[in-house]
């Protein structure tokens, strides 16, 4: 990529040039513009990243270019030139000819038709667009699949999409997009749905193919990290406007617009905490003024040392049966959580980090008593927190609370915010209505919401605000432990940062302990005192954040850190070759006896899983 970054747009005339593009959607009365007067060019073999948070109109822009919007409900103004010819003026039939052959597109979740085989969908393009015969098409399909590094390509042709993993599907989608050797590839959030390690692979793949195929790429994403990884030039969008464009270096080094500054400021940068011991809030910047937001960005104190732990998880194991086959008998078990032990001290934040299927959420749910526990025991300040001998909910719920991932789903849409917050109070504390009201108001204040918002319904709030409400509800019974299950993953970067700060703030004030579940190394780095890395249901590495991040000792931990995109173009690291490996499934045959967990202490309190005899379980 290095060289393509040097050649400047002016030198050759652009493949795609968008000028004054305005896209509006039909609403109750009239047209509502969602993309306003956007202009940009993409040169040959150039990668343009269009970055923005949800609702910024980046995807709509892409759709407008591809002409995929329903003309009945959407209106496109302005000029879109592909290789000189204007697309806006083309007939539907003509556009279809351009589509797929000259420019093609991949979507967020590799969207293959569930009822047709990979082979069918691939060869379809080849036959219809490139007029190949079946046999030719099949051959070509194989080569394409090999090109996107899919092992045993020929065998895959017969597979249905659901039989492939997310990563593989995305590869197939890419292969499909490449079928007609397009000159422009539009990738709309192609990696968002994927795990970090897979994401890294896909990004690499795209970059590589771009070189091989000499095509330009329009890369749409919300992740500055990804931008920094892939883009020659970057266009920042915000609420339908193109805020700022420029080479990626410039954007990152010298952002001109306030919004860009704010955005960059709120990105957690992996490694930015090197040399520090304790969590530290972000220094945020107001997106209008560009001035720092007045907020104490001072690091949090250490957890009171030596104090006896608040939560003790000892040898927790969780398994789900897998049934199937004749008389659907038990054919295996998902070892969701395997022999997991850890403890959290008061005022401490422990992060469980790992990819999908690593069992981190299951662990959290087990601690909250939301899933039936198989083995091991969980104690919360002397109480048994889960299992048959667990203390009653009414007692537990005043000590431990939980924040869920999806702020849209975790609030009952039919309750006013006030009632949502009041419900636990009414149920568990003997209080006067007035006291309850006061408490509700206080809670809202604590999470930075206005008291009058108590009258509103959840749907009248934004994602970030809802997550604040969720936090407030979690705090209502002021618990000692709050389990945050991917609590910020669904939020946009800027909001994410604010919520994280909020959580730290609260911890500072209330001496809370957090069990922070996340897949995002960078965020974890920000917020945790201690970190536990989970893989296939086991903790592979656990220890003080600094120690773990500064010398990751387990191969998987290293892999994770390597995969995490670094939002800094200057530090684009070269990655190891493209093995198309997937996260292994934690499903084990019926009789499977997992090896005993042996942890070796590599540094003070820093342990690493040691399983020489079970190498196959791991990369």
Partner 1 sequence: MPVDLVDPFANEAEETARPMRDLIRSYFRSPIGTFGLVLMVLIVLAAVFAPFLSFQNPYDLLQLDILDGQLKPGETSAAYGYPYMLGTDDQGRDMFSAILYGLRISLGVGILSATTAALIGATLGLVAAYHGGRLESIIMRLVDFQLSFPTILVALMILAVMGKGIGNVILALVLVEWATFARTARGVGLVESRKDYIEASHVLGVPSWRILLRHLLPNCIPPLIVIATVQVARAISLEATLSFLGVGVPITEPSLGLLISNGYQYMFSGMYWMSVFPGLALLVTIVAINLVGDRLRDVLNPRKDT
Partner 2 sequence: MFASILQRVGQAVFVMFCMTIVVFIGMNLIGNPIDLLISPNATPVERQRLIAEFGLDQAIWVQYWRFLVGLAHLDLGVSYIFNEPALRVILQRFPATMELALMATFLSVLIGVPLGLYAGLRPYSPVSRLIMTSSILGFSLPTFWVGMMFILLFSVQLGWLPSSGRGETVTVFGMQWSFLTLDGLSHLLLPALNLALFKASLILRLTRAGVAEVLPQDYVRLAHAKGLSARRVVYVHVLKNVMIPVVTVVGLEFGSVIAFSVVTETIFAWPGMGKLIIDSINNLDRPIIVAYLMIIVLLFVTINLVVDILYTVLDPRVQFSKTGKR
Contact residues toward partner 1 (CB under 8 A) are: 53-56, 239, 262, 287, 293, 295, 368, 370, 393-394, 396-398, 401-402, 404-406, 408-414, 423-424, 427-428, 447-450, 457-460, 462-465, 468, 470, 473, 476-477, 492, 494-495, 498-499, 501-502, 505
Query: How many whole angstroms separate alpha carbon 96 and alpha carbon 99?
Result: 5
> Closer CB to partner 2, residue 173 or residue 243?
173
> Closer CB to partner 2, residue 160 or residue 618?
160
CB 222 within 8 A of CB 53: yes
Nearest to 173 by CA among 229, 108, 219, 220: 108
> Closer CB to partner 2, residue 34 or residue 265?
34
Bridge partners for 99 per DSSP:
103
> Closer CB to partner 1, residue 216 or residue 410?
410
Among 114-122, 444-452, 484-492, 581-589, the segment contacting partner 2 (CB under 8 A): 114-122
Among 12-20, 110-118, 197-205, 565-573, the segment contacting partner 2 (CB under 8 A): 110-118
Which of partner 1, partner 2, none sits in contact with 326, Cβ below 5 to 8 A by type?
A: partner 2
> Closer CB to partner 2, residue 164 or residue 386?
164
Which of partner 2, partner 1, none sits in contact with 176, Cβ below 5 to 8 A by type?
A: partner 2
> Closer CB to partner 1, residue 87 or residue 454?
454
Which of partner 2, partner 1, none sits in contact with 72, Cβ below 5 to 8 A by type?
A: partner 2
Which of the residues 317 through 336 are near partner 2 (CB under 8 A)?
A: 324-328
* Single residue of 43, 100, 166, 332 touching partner 2 by CB under 8 A: 100
Which of the residues 63 through 82 are near partner 2 (CB under 8 A)?
A: 66, 68, 72
Question: Exposure of 427 by Cβ count < 10 A (0-12 exposed, 13-18 middle, 19+ buried)?
Answer: exposed
Question: Exposure of 36 by Cβ count < 10 A (0-12 exposed, 13-18 middle, 19+ buried)?
Answer: middle
Site string for partner 2, 140-179 (x = CB under 8 A): --------------------x-x----------x--x--x
Encoding tokens for residue 273? 């905490």
> Closer CB to partner 1, residue 314 or residue 505?
505
Nearest to 534 by CA among 384, 370, 382, 338: 338
Which of the residues 79 through 98 are near partner 2 (CB under 8 A)?
A: 92-93, 96-98
> Closer CB to partner 2, residue 109 or residue 241?
109
What single-letter DSSP state applies at residue 576?
Answer: P
Q: Under the phi-then-psi rule, with left for phi > 0, alpha for psi from -120 to 50, and beta for the rest, what region is 138?
A: alpha
CB 258 within 8 A of CB 271: no
Task: Note whether 193 binds partner 2 by CB under 8 A.
Answer: no
Q: How far, rounded to the nearest angstrom, does the alpha carbon of residue 287 sit from its chain's CA centroid?
A: 23
Among 107-115, 232-240, 410-418, 569-577, the segment contacting partner 2 (CB under 8 A): 107-115
Longest dimension (CA), the chain: 79
Bridge partners for 190 per DSSP:
none
Shortest Å, Cβ 542 to partner 1 = 25
Encoding tokens for residue 147? 């090109």
- Whether the CA torsion 64, 68, 69, 71 is positive or negative: it is positive
* Single residue of 40, 107, 514, 549 touching partner 2 by CB under 8 A: 107
CA dihedral 87, 89, 94, 97 (to 10 degrees): 0
List all residues 6 or more positions away from 51 whose beta carbon is below 8 Å from its beta carbon.
Answer: 58, 220, 221, 222, 223, 224, 227, 234, 235, 236, 237
Which of partner 2, partner 1, none sits in contact with 83, Cβ below 5 to 8 A by type?
A: none
List all residues 6 or more positions away from 320 whose beta carbon is below 8 Å from its beta carbon.
Answer: 333, 334, 336
Which of partner 1, partner 2, none sits in contact with 463, Cβ below 5 to 8 A by type?
A: partner 1
| Site residues for partner 2 per CB under 8 A | 66, 68, 72, 92-93, 96-101, 104-105, 107-109, 111-117, 124-125, 128-129, 160, 162, 173, 176, 179-180, 324-328
């Amino acid at each position: 990529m290095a060289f393509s970054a040097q050649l400047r747009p002016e030198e050759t005339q652009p493949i795609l040039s968008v000028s004054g593009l305005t896209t509006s959607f039909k609403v109750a009365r009239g047209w509502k513009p969602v993309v306003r007067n956007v202009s940009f060019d993409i040169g040959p073999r150039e990668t343009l990243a269009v970055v923005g948070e949800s609702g910024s109109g980046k995807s709509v822009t892409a759709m407008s270019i591809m002409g995929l919007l329903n003309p009945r409900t959407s209106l496109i103004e302005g000029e879109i030139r592909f290789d000189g010819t204007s697309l806006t003026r083309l007939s539907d039939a003509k556009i279809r000819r351009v589509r797929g052959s000259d420019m093609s597109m991949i979507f967020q979740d590799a969207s293959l038709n569930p009822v047709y085989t990979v082979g069918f969908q691939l060869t379809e393009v080849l036959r219809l667009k490139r007029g190949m015969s079946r046999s030719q098409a099949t051959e070509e399909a194989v080569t394409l699949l090999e090109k996107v590094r899919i092992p045993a390509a020929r065998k895959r042709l017969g597979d249905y999409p659901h039989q492939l993993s997310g990563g593989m599907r995305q590869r197939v989608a890419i292969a499909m997009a490449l079928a007609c050797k397009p000159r422009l590839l539009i990738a709309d959030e192609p990696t968002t749905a994927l795990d970090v390690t897979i994401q890294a692979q896909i990004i690499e793949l795209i970059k590589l193919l771009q070189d091989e195929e000499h095509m330009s790429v329009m890369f749409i994403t919300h992740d500055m990290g990804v931008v920094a990884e892939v883009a020659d030039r970057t266009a920042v969008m915000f609420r339908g406007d193109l805020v700022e464009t420029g080479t990626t270096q410039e954007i990152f080094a010298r952002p001109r617009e306030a919004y860009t500054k704010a955005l960059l400021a709120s990105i957690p940068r992996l490694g930015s905490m090197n040399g520090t011991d304790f969590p530290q809030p972000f220094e945020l910047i107001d997106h209008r003024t560009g001035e720092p937001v007045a907020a104490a960005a001072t690091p949090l104190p250490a957890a009171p040392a030596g104090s006896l732990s608040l939560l003790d998880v000892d040898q927790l194991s969780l398994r789900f049966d897998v049934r199937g086959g004749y008389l659907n008998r038990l054919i295996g078990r998902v070892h969701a959580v395997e022999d997991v032990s850890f403890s959290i001290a008061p005022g401490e934040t422990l992060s469980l980090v790992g990819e999908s299927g690593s069992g981190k959420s299951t662990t959290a749910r087990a601690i909250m008593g939301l899933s039936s526990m198989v083995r091991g025991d969980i104690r919360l300040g002397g109480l048994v927190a889960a299992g048959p001998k667990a203390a009653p909910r009414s007692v537990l719920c005043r000590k431990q609370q939980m924040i869920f991932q999806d702020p849209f789903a975790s609030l009952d849409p039919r309750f006013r915010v006030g009632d949502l917050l009041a419900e636990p109070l009414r149920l568990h504390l003997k209080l006067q209505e007035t006291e309850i009201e006061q408490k509700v108001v206080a809670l809202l204040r604590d999470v930075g919401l206005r008291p009058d918002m108590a009258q509103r319904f959840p749907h009248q709030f934004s994602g970030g605000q809802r997550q604040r409400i969720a936090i407030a509800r979690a705090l209502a019974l002021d618990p000692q432990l709050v389990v945050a299950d991917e609590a910020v993953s669904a939020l946009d970067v800027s909001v994410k940062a604010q919520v994280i700060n909020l959580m730290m703030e609260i911890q500072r004030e209330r001496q809370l302990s957090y069990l922070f579940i996340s897949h995002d190394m960078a965020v974890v780095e920000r917020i945790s005192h201690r970190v536990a890395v989970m893989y296939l249901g086991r903790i592979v590495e656990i220890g003080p954040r600094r120690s773990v991040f500064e010398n990751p000792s387990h191969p998987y931990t290293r892999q994770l850190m390597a995969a995490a995109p670094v939002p800094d173009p200057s530090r684009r690291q070269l990655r190891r070759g493209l093995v198309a490996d997937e996260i292994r499934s934690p499903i084990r045959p019926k009789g499977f006896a997992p090896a005993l967990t042996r942890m070796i202490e590599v540094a003070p309190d820093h342990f690493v899983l040691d399983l020489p005899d079970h190498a196959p379980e791991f990369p």
